[in-house]
A and B are shown apart, each in its own frame.
Chain A
Amino acid sequence: MAEEVEAATNGNQQSADLLKELVAHLSANRTNLRQEWARRIGEARLLTALTPEEIFNEATSVYDNYVEVLETGLVEALQDYARNLSERIIPRGVETDEVLGIVLLLRDVLARSLFQKYQQDFAYLNKVLDAYEPAANRIANTVAINFVQERERVIRQQQEAIRELSTPVLQVRERLLILPIIGVLDGQRARQLTEQLLRGIRANRARVVVIDITGVPTIDSTVANHLVQTVDASRLMGASVIITGLSPEIAQTLVTLGVDLSKVNAIGDLQGGIEEAERLLGYQVSLGEGAADESR
């Protein structure tokens, strides 16, 4: 038992020594290996969005971080760097396969240099690789995962932004709201629309709401029924809803599908909808004197 423990400790000790040797080797050949790596990145046509100088600078930082991780076994600094790098290069259109590609290239470049150095002593080379491979794989993993996580974070943020932009509730007159909807309405968006509309009615004390769906290419029966429910719910809150801009195609589809729109107040275009809303609210719009003169 004690022997086994000792053997294991010996093994660990040995692998730590090997890593130390490895780090010394990599530090000694920093310039060469870095250049070799940058050359191979260029050859493989990776990171084409960056200039050669930028690639070389990033290569240097990654290389130093890489050696540091091998030396200390701590990936935190590399994680931070990878996140920071991803933040900088994602907006420039760098793809996941490119990032994976360069990290794997670095691994290969370093492994080659090890082969070269220890080619005389195959048994020793094996041991060196035993120490090197797990550490190198872990590094590749860390960089790739951080890149993907950063990408996903960006995507989530953008989805959030799109979602917020997608259902604006605008007040055009006292007690009159307009909801212009553009793009495909799916279940999730329709739910969000309802929520925003009902909140908007409350916040703006609206009495008439015009929902304009000119920019909606198609509607399925689920979404149509959801719209009808929204109209009903708005009425419960004391607001009447006018739907405008139902395209001829959508109108045909809805009737063919048998959606009951008899309770919905629909008007052809947004202009007509606003005029009707103004009538409901008791507004009277007339041309001013100046405008009348000009039109003459």
Chain B
Amino acid sequence: MTVPILKQGPFLIATIQAALTDTDVLRLQEDVMQQVTRHRSRGIVVDVTALDVMDSFVSRSLRGIAMMTRLRGASTVIVGIQPEVAFAMVQLGMSFEDVQTALDLEEGLALLQARREPGDGAG
């Protein structure tokens, strides 16, 4: 199952809709990088609300996306981590320390917008 990536102004929104296989995850990484390059996006929101489990491969790959997009000048926000998932991740030692997180899509976009504005001058 592929993850749709939508363009919203200067940002991209990738909404994961069901549990992902390892292939899907790698495909998502690839797609995000292509889209970031094509649209010259400044930020990506990855919405994981639909995931009720997050294994180490998925979380490592999401972190990977954040690292890769940074190299293209775009920041990544992971949004919608469920309470149970959040605590399970921390217990497994995957606490996403260098990745930005937000409650939901709206918050994530607001966060990216806020980052952009100071440097933008015009706003």
Contacts and interface: CB of A to CB of B under 8 A. Distances in A.
Interface of A: 194-195, 198-199, 201-202, 205-207, 229-230, 232-239, 263
Instruction: Tell which of B84, B90, B95 has the most Cβ of chain A within 10 Å.
Output: B90
Contact of B103 (A195, A202, A233): A202
A195 to B, nearest CB: 7
8 contacts: A198-B86, A207-B103, A229-B87, A230-B90, A232-B90, A233-B83, A234-B86, A238-B102
Q: What is the interface of chain A mostly: helix, strand, loop, or mixed? A: helix
Contact of A238 (B79, B85, B91, B97): B79
B107 interface: yes
B81 A236 contact: yes
B87 A198 contact: yes
A126 B107 CA distance: 84
B17 to A, nearest CB: 19
Nearest to B96: A236
Nearest to B102: A238
A234 B83 CA distance: 8
B81 A237 contact: yes
Nearest to B88: A233
Nearest to B111: A238
A224 to B, nearest CB: 14
Given A233-B89, A238-B101, 10 more contacts: A195-B87, A198-B87, A207-B103, A229-B91, A230-B87, A235-B96, A236-B96, A237-B101, A238-B102, A263-B97
Contacts of A229: 87, 90-91
